[in-house]
Structure 1
Amino acid sequence: MQNDANVVPLNKSATEPSQTSFAGRVPAGLVAVRDKVAVQLRHAMQALFDNADDTLFEMADRAANNAEQSAYFEAMRDLRLKRKGIERGFLQKVFENFANLNQYEIGRAPVLDTVSYENLTLVQNDELEESVALDAMVAKVVSRDGVALTHLTTRFNTLVSKKVEDKSNPLGPRQLCEAFLEACRGLGVEIKVKLIILKLFEKYVLADAEHLYAEANQTLIALGVLPELKSVPLRRPPQRTVPSSQGAAPSAAAPEAGEQGSAQYMDADSQAAFAALRDLLSQVRGSAAPARSMPADAVPISSNDLMRLLSHLQSHLPAQTIDEVDVRQHLDHLLTRVSSKSGRSRVVGQVDEDVINLVSMLFEFILDDRTLPDSLKALIGRMQIPMLKVAVLDKTFFSRGSHPARRLLNEIASAALGWAEHSDGQRDHLYQKIEQVVMRLLNDFVDDPAIFSELLDEFISFTGDERRRSDLLEQRTRDAEEGRARAELARQDVEGVLNERLLGRTLPEVVVRLLQEAWSQVLLLTCLKHGTHSSEWEAALATMDDLIWSVEPHEDPDSRLCLLEMVPQLLKSLREGLASAAFDPFSTGEFFSRLEGLHVQAFQRYKQVEEAPLLDLEDDLPLLDDPLDASVAVAPAAVQPAMVAVVEEIVLASPEPARAVEPEEAFADDDESLRKVDDLRVGSWVEIQEDEEHKLRCKLAAVIRPSGRYIFVNRTGMKVLEKTRMSLAVEFRRNAVRLLDDALLFDRALESVIGNLRRLKNA
């Protein structure tokens, strides 16, 4: 017998939280929404798993090696076995999130886990990739369906006393993603496979969020929950414009052809911004822009007609290089043909003429910009006609920073900042992607600017994947360089203490070798792990000092007693230290065997010193032939340890390859070249002239302060250059380094155009 939604079974503990007890507290309106969307989510999850096999099989078919292929096949098997559990776990988590909307935990103190600072680590790469993918999925849904989600959240807030936000809404993209990830915790798959499964969740579940929110909102509206809350449709630039009457002269009171249609879609700020640009242009017409003489009977063409002419040029000029494309010249040629056919002189209206001139000036700046690689300028230049068309359709193109066409241009320029042409003539994925975007615009863009939003989303997704990979590699490069610098400093510290204690002294060869080859490794690891101000470091130095003292000659009786007490602990400390450094056990045994011989000889020497007075008393007695008596006199000369005089500074071997010696020059502290180096910030892009033919574009990834080295990486995050502060100053002095401006390309171009117009106006 099934329990009613509001009935709690009596055979369960009253304190036990159950899904049934939670459900009883959910308002009826939320229950209706929950049950309705649960059906839709269940169908979406079924579609996900129905298509997962095909997707993973296709990935396995394209796998680069057997291991990768096996991982995909194993993931297919794992998904089949755990499919039902994941579906059930996902929906259960969604139900729990609904139940928690009306739940408060009163009087419970937060439970804090015990923290061990020794075990703190950075976020693992897999977790970082998963987090980045989740954030991108959430951002896409919020950008696309944010209004409907906000309305749903507002309606939820009228039903529950607990404050609900978009991010805590059970149907919000973040809550849905986290519920799915929680349900997939039992999958034993690699991060590469998990990201594919997340993409499937985005495709089959989140892609339908619009209908999910629409269903939920309609359900609540039918129940009388804020029915007056209406969604405002997004305003798009017009598909058709209202032409002015033929023969009417343009005036300030009457908008010209093409202006009426677009003006009604611009707010006051956008209209004012575009009017200011036109005003500047009008004052310098003839110098900044050509002053065109119009025949007395000239009839301005409508913006629709201009769009058709531009579309004709767009379809017939895509294969030409940008240097061969003169939009104004080709338009004049087409207008001449139109005029001859109609028998009336047709010209471009003044508003559209201004738009053409402004876009032309913008692209003149873009194609002269030294920040863009030359090979990509030709591609970006071919976007001029599509950008001109969208500017004719929507004048907010010049004033709205979030305009999709502007953002697409900025994103392409930003991605191209670190691009370098391949010497073997191959085109990498970025070049191919930009080329694909440009060709889509040239082939598919007629008069619907929505294509820019679509291409923008695709390009951001592409660059996001690339940026995530490059960020991971760059972080590994940075960590490796910082570790290398720490190891170098530690090696210098160890060399310092070894030379301080050994240089200029004569010691048994085995002791010098033990300290230089073995104990130096113990000191190095101790320095890296604990530092030179730690008790562990002091203990390692004390062991080294005790070892040196133990093999030096001492004549007083107190030294013998001290040595007797010291040796057992000394040997123990040496063994433990060498074991912690994973030193070769065979070499360790050899060292200890020879060290034991040294200590035995030291004890014998002390014994001889004690027996010397007795031998002096027996000088007058006849010598005995007893071999035991003879051994006392012979023992000191039997085995003498090999001694080594340390006369040269000890230099420890480095596992890193030797760095190339860079020419260093002395610069004054206030030198301009040094100031430029010090002004560099991590993340800055530079172009370095390596020789007459080759330039290197790279980004400053890290400044290793202890060693004063600057680490540069390429667009993929791989290390390509390493310079010292002084050697970098030398490059600046010979003008071989140029900073690349990473500000938004369109904004820089617009700022330059406005600045030029103002200078011409004031000239």
Structure 2
Amino acid sequence: MPPRAVSPRHAVLEEAIGAALQQVGTGFAAFRTQLAARLTESSQPPADSRDRLRAASLLHERHEALLPRVTDALGRALREELAQLAPEPRVAGQPLALVPYDEMDQRVARAAIARPFDAAHADALATLNAGLAHLFERQSLRVNPFRPEVFIAALHEAWTAFDGEEGSAAAMLALVQAGCFHDLAAVYAAVNGVLERHGLLPGPLRRPLAQQPVRQQGHDARREALLASRLHAFFGQSGVAGDRATADTTAAGEAGTLAPRLLRWLASLPDAVGANAIALSSLKRDAPRGMLSRADEGTIDLLGAVFDTVSADEAISSESRELLQLLQLPLLKAALADKQFFFHAGHPARKLLELLSRMGWERTLAGTGRRDDRQFQAMRRSVDVAAREDDAASAAFAQAVRELEAALKEEEADAAAVLAVPVAAALKQEKTATARRAARDAVALRVGTGEVVAVVEAFLENRWTDVLTVAYSIDDDKPGAVRHATQAMDDLLWSVRPKLDADERRQLIARLPGLLATLNRWLDVVKWHDADRLRFFAELADCHASIVRAPLDMTAERRIELSMQAATLAAERRLARAADARSAESAESAQSAQSAQSAAAPALAPEEELAGLARGTWFEFAEDGGARRVKLAWISPLRSLYIFSNGAREEAFSLPAQALAQRLHAGTATVLQAEGVVARALARALAVNDPAAELDSAAA
């Protein structure tokens, strides 16, 4: 059973975890079937055939025992990850624990498996990150608790407990890939759905939380709370209900219904005034006596304030404002039938109004004013759909929102086609950078022990890193490239370790030709053909010769002495490498501090500074020729590169994450966000000005 919620935040988190576990359980049968089929494929390497067959047999015979272990391990892992978002203060003098090399190796392996999933679900993960950051009242989260690596680690833990054979677990993990894993798209959709229901996801008109100063985040939260409180009080005084528990319901009864007499009167208005363009301010005066209750009159006043705000907002294009005026009567019916229109941004009628306002605001930024373009025609059709119903049913508004969002997706797809060339170049650049990081991590994991001879250590760091970079880059197209290159590196390391008996030396002599051929093939791939290559193989041959010629008839005491000397030398090398790393880190910190004083470097890391950005966000860049307004058209999967476009959907320029973060922090780049017209109008109408002072005085 999940733990009992101890706070509203904890309840949301438990609901999100439950949604993730439910999706994992729903798709587990398909995953298990696909995994069993791949485990029995004959095309797999024969070396681990026994482990694969054992794993496949267990899946067929005892699969019902695996799912509970998977969900238990995943639930525990997600709760541990979420608990780390609020770490306890560190005790002074707390000893540092060293991570065992086996665990480090497992982490590197899991990260490599998770990397394609990170790229495939980058947008959903970014949305989830923003929602969780909103929940924890932070600018952003450095690590997403629901990242794919957590699901992979939980599966490995569950399988180890399920089988106990290390070989079968490794064989199973080697097959984890797109099409043979949990349906993470469904998982992230479900979790984001939970956050959206609780109002935690930044909507199209809400400024991403990661772009707001910390003080502004609290201010906005207090403002929303005060606005909700004022709305409850307003409708309570208007006779809808006497307390908060029932203040959201309407005087007519169930939400979505209107009194027949009122509905007939509203239906007669279009014929009288034409085209749904009515003056809300005159309705109360012209309404028959007794037609409108106090709550109805209050609703008309608030909705009138909303449309007055729309009419006066010159940031919304003029043709869009004219179009929005045609929604007055349909929205009035919806608001009279359901007061949730004022309380919840997710109300279908309110969503349509906000979406149309946002699009009108963007048309102003893009300099678009034509009424015959595809976007404006889509806006007009959505208004027609919303206005064609005779009652206040929300289905019409929901349909209008869906059709408008579908049109926006088509336009986004067209824009993506226009940017296909720069996007392809950016993807290639990011993939290469990611591959190089993975290659460096794999080499560092092996040379960090200090036990590698100097010539091989230098070769791995300077040359084999290039080989592994290529292998990681082509592994998607040529599966097994990373495994082959990594195995060659491990074989090279084994070849230069001391061989203390005749059998080991015979194995070395037998395996050397194949090892040298493999090394040469990979070095040909990276085009290393200079004299340094010949020098390396000459030094490697000397090392192998010294190993083979070393005396075998050493006493046990001498072997222990040599082992102690080797361990001491390895420890000294590790300490030297750690000292070099600290020196480099200190130099980098000093350089960053100097840059901060001279050029206002960003206070946050780029991934934190930019975590809340989404495609479609508008920016204003300060340039010598004046301000330049562009739209964020594309974000690379790992959020390391950002492409901006102008109003004609052509590429304007691209910026790496570090440069964009610096410009945002320095103020030469500004995020342009349109505040929701409904919330803005209601705040003005209900005099929500200084929420901090008002809430503090109310609490006192």
TM-score, normalised to structure 1, is 0.35
Higher helix share: 2
Higher RCO (CA < 8 A, seq sep 6+): 2
TM-score, normalised to structure 2, is 0.38
Determine which structure has more spread, i.e. the larger CA radius of gyration. Answer: 1
